[in-house]
Structure 1
Amino acid sequence: MTYLRKARIQDVKAIHALLMHHAAGGLLLPRSLSQLYNHIREFYVVDPDDGGPIKGCCALSIIWDELAEVRSLVVADDMQGLGWGRRLVEACVSEAVTLGLYKVFTLTYQAGFFRKQGFAEVAKDVLPQKVWADCINCPRFPDCDEVAMMIEL
């Protein structure tokens, strides 16, 4: 039985492999093993519970007062279309509410998917904390082609 759970340190290499596979296709930005070890507590994973590698992941990153980001969302090719992406985003949004964070954004190439989850497009200039915390170090800065989207809870 496949289920959703918080990530554990033992999941880092599997998360990394999943992210790198999809980053190679240009669907998201890669993350280093070091970044993943430092941020593992932010992640949820889809665990197939058969001893195999995780089949999906997503992280909720706190950016600022009342502002969080859903990032590193990926679902393995063989698990797409089964609702796991939606469940991963719901888990992150639920955690944001629990933490008192009522604005959640994402930078994505999958705007249609996030629109279905209740997110709406916003101008990137409403996210100055994100730009100076992360984007400034991105190889695509300042010519980012991701779509900024936000949900207010």
Structure 2
Amino acid sequence: MIRPARIPDARIIHQLLLTYAKDGQLLGRSLAAIYDSIRDFYVYEEDGKILGIGALAICWADLAEVRSLAVVPGQHGKGIGRQIVERCLQEARELGLQRVFALTYQPEFFQKLGFTEIDKAQLPQKVWGDCINCVKFPDCDEFALAINILNA
């Protein structure tokens, strides 16, 4: 089941993100940053275990990002990531947002959900909000994809 993350989930979220950050598959986040944004996160929980996480971060009046999407190794291909993204898109619609984007090394996953590749230059709020502090800035090698919520 997918539910909003709670304070006791923060350390699990942190550890799961570190699993993929070590390989450079996504950006790690400090435990403090996770506590700070815990309300952005959703967790997929099954039998009391968190098997997947993801967050919807509001960037601007009409724009949000699906970020920190991760599924426990060995649990891929079961629809966990898809369900988390769909819940994020549902929340984006409820908030009245127009577009949601993702920066990813897995563009095919997001394309299956209706996202299309875009130029990162279309995301000025993201660049000045988070990317400027990234070690890869300005040479980001992630793919940028977006979906128009009104059509999703």
Partner of 1:26 in structure 2? 24
Secondary structure of 2:24's counterpart equals coil
Q: What TM-score do you get using the length of structure 1 for normalisation?
A: 0.95
Partner of 1:137 in structure 2? 133
Give the paired residue count.
149
Give the superposed CA RMSD.
0.8
Report the alpha carbon displacement of residue 48 of structure 1 after superposing the two structures with TM: 2.1
Alignment of 1:43-122 (within 5 A): 43-50=41-48, 52=49, 54-122=50-118
Report the alpha carbon displacement of residue 26 of structure 1 after superposing the two structures with TM: 1.7
Report the alpha carbon displacement of residue 78 of structure 1 after superposing the two structures with TM: 2.2
* Ranges in structure 1 where 5+ consecutive residues have no aligned partner: none
Percent of residue pairs bearing the same amino acid type: 54
Q: Which runs of 4+ in 1 moved over 2 A?
A: none
Report the alpha carbon displacement of residue 23 of structure 1 after superposing the two structures with TM: 1.1
Of 6, 10, 13, which aligns to 2:11?
Answer: 13
Report the alpha carbon displacement of residue 125 of structure 1 after superposing the two structures with TM: 0.5
Report the alpha carbon displacement of residue 25 of structure 1 after superposing the two structures with TM: 1.7
